[in-house]
Amino acid sequence: MLWNQVETQFNTLHGCRSEVVVTLTPNDLEPHYKRAYREAQPELEVKGFRKGKVPLDVVKKRFGKRIRANAMGDITSEVFSNIVRTNEIKTIGRPILSNVDERSDGSVQFTIEYDVQPEFDLADYKTFSVQRRSMIVNDEVVDKEVDRLLLDHGKFQEAEQINSDNFFVTVEARKVDEAGQPDASAPVEELRWFLPNPSVDPEVRAKLLNLKVGDTFEHEYPSEKDQNVKITFIHTVKEFQEVVPAELTNDFVEGLTNGAVHSTEELRKQIESQLRDSVLEHTDKSIDEQIIRTMLSRNNDWAVPQALVDELNRASLKEFQDKQPDKKLPENFDIATFVQRVSPQSERSARWLLVRDAIIEKEKLEATEADIDEMVQQIAAGANFDPAQIRSYVAQDERFMAQIVNDKAMKFLREQASYEDVEVSSPNEIYLPGEEMPAAAADADAGQDGSEELAEND
């Protein structure tokens, strides 16, 4: 069947969204209906006939409408695939079938909406500068990390008031209304802070100093909807515990490392090595983020396909769900609110994917045999598998091939950049304002969750 000969009407809707209205005649449909009847025949039962032996004319008469309806999904998919191929349409995301109309003359008309790859002029990607932000790992930095470890493995003790930073503090927060009073309609939220964590707002830390259970303070947070809008919450100290650091001894070191390290000096050397590796890793991530921000700022005058944003939203939702107990969403979880919250990041990621792919195409980047060998060696180093088997698997898996090419694209862009070296004093300062600091960076500096975000209830 030559589906490219069917009647079609193309319409541009908005942005990257288009639709095609397809009309199939009875002659177009008949061979596909017949095939559907034959495929359904073995499972059908009609009184007077053995199972699977119902004549096709009876099948058509008794079950035809249902069978045709079930077959329509396969037919429309096949038709659309041929339309896309014949017209060389570069689609993105999932097409949407609608308005299926089975007419009295036996013809069928339906509409398929789809997004297309945007056509854009790729901006300059070979001339730009980034900051190479790093920090010197000296004795002072190692001392701070040792102190963090001692706090992490310290003991709790009761205290009458918060008289230092070495406290776990739990507060109850409620939004303040326009009259400056606690909003009785707003929920009370419980927040926990480990005050030594640098992610704790210094202003919050200062307001907590010398407070006792039952004391209150006010603090403003930026609105999720508009960062320039501030929302005031009143906080009531619910409970706190002082953390008394552990004592740094050889016995403590051996217990901490399960006997792998035997002395305080060995521990310091190990910490120094780990910090240097961590700094290098975060510096590289900061550079990559700056590169992405530059590329996006230069390629922001065209629409991103909504279908691609939707796919990334679904991926974020699945990732969130997979992290929940039993991989189930919480009861009364508002998916619409979640999607609204992650959509800006999904749109940003979608734009970056399109820009990156355009660079890959323009530079003719591809996975070479040497690239595959390098990936195989990396995988084999951490797994007890035959490199030959790994290579066969990698070479046939599109995800590995895509990862190789994507890594080459980032390496290529790093080589184009000019660098300004900037020295910082802590791992979280490696990331510029507006960059997302991975949790590991904060952990390297503090080791504990520092604070919890307040949800808005406007």
- β-pair type (418-423, 129-134): parallel
Q: 199 near 450, Cβ under 8 Å?
A: yes
What's the pTM?
0.71
Q: 106 near 65, Cβ under 8 Å?
A: no
Tokens at 155, concatenated = 């003991």
Q: What is the amino acid identity at position 80?
A: F
Distance CA 215, CA 162 (A): 11
Tokens at 178, concatenated = 């326009």
pLDDT at 440: 35
pLDDT at 132: 94
For 219-277, the DSSP string reads: EEEE-SS-TTSEEEEEEEEEEEEEEEPPP--HHHHHHHTTTS--SHHHHHHHHHHHHHH
DSSP 3-state of 280: helix
pLDDT at 332: 86
Show the DSSP H helices in 42-154 as ranges: 56-86, 139-152
pLDDT at 45: 67
Q: What is the largest CA-CA distance in the chain?
A: 91
- Give the H or E element holding residue 182: none
pLDDT tens digits for range 276-296: 999 999 999 999 999 999 999
| Average pLDDT of every residue of the chain | 85
Please, what are the domains in the chain?
A: 3-116 (3.30.70.1050), 137-253 (3.10.50.30), 277-445 (1.10.3120)
Which residues neighbour 412 within 8 Å (Cβ) at sequence distance 6 or greater?
359, 363, 365
- β-pair type (7-14, 91-102): unpaired
Question: Number of helices and strands (H, E) in the chain?
Answer: 12, 11
Tokens at 56, concatenated = 């096709």
DSSP 3-state of 19: strand
Is the pLDDT at 1 greater than 70? The verdict is: no
Is the pLDDT at 454 greater than 50? The verdict is: no
Q: Which residue has the higher pLDDT, 349 or 41?
A: 349
Is the pLDDT at 441 greater than 60? The verdict is: no
> The sheet that has 7-14: what strands, in order across it?
7-14, 17-24, 108-116, 91-102
pLDDT tens digits for range 172-183: 999 988 888 888
Q: What is the amino acid identity at position 87?
A: N
DSSP 153: T
pLDDT tens digits for range 366-392: 988 888 888 888 787 766 777 777 877
Q: From 374, 411, 163, select the one nearest 284 (Cα to Cα).
A: 411
DSSP 3-state of 132: strand
Distance CA 210, CA 60 (A): 84
pLDDT tens digits for range 195-220: 988 889 999 999 999 999 999 999 99
Distance CA 153, CA 149 (A): 6
pLDDT at 335: 93
Supply φ then ψ for residue 155, to 5 degrees. -115, 150
Q: What is the amino acid identity at position 84?
A: V
Q: 219 near 235, Cβ under 8 Å?
A: yes
pLDDT at 385: 75
Distance CA 287, CA 431 (A): 9
% pLDDT > 70, the chain: 91
CB-count exposure of residue 226 (10 Å: 0-12, 13-18, 19+): exposed
pLDDT tens digits for range 233-256: 999 999 999 999 999 999 999 999
pLDDT band for position 105 (50/70/90)? confident
Q: Which residue has the higher pLDDT, 398 or 112?
A: 112
Q: How far is CA 394 from the centre of its chain?
A: 24
Supply φ then ψ for residue 87, to 5 degrees. -95, 5
